[in-house]
Amino acid sequence: MPDSKQLHHDAETLRQKVQAKRDDADNAIIRAANYRKDGELERAAQENARAIKDHQEILEIERAAMECEFRATELEAKELELEKRQRDY
């Protein structure tokens, strides 16, 4: 089972993936706008669909990052409780 430091690290890695995915989505939106300007509506629609897919993936990755942070915080609370109990004895 991973420790809290590993979970925080995993969450940070996931946030970096989110940023990369946001960049991908932004680029797809820009490409879609350029295709629309050029009258290439089918390609614009494809790029918009790609941006939507990227944003859906962003939500999934962000959720996973939040779950890692939550689990890390739970572990830290348990560790603190254990330390307190050991001090009290």
Is residue 88's pLDDT more than 90? no
Is residue 1's pLDDT more than 80? no
CB 72 within 8 A of CB 13: no
With residue 25 as reference, give the H or E element that holds it.
helix 4-37
The number of distinct structural domains making up the chain is 1
CA angle 1, 18, 76 (to 5 degrees): 30
Domain interval for residue 49: 4-88
Tell me the pLDDT band of 53, cut-offs 50, 70 and 90: very high
Is-above-0.95 flag for pTM? Answer: no
CA–CA separation, 26 and 8 (whole Å): 27
Q: Dihedral (C-alpha) 9, 14, 17, 19: value to the nearest 10 degrees?
A: -90
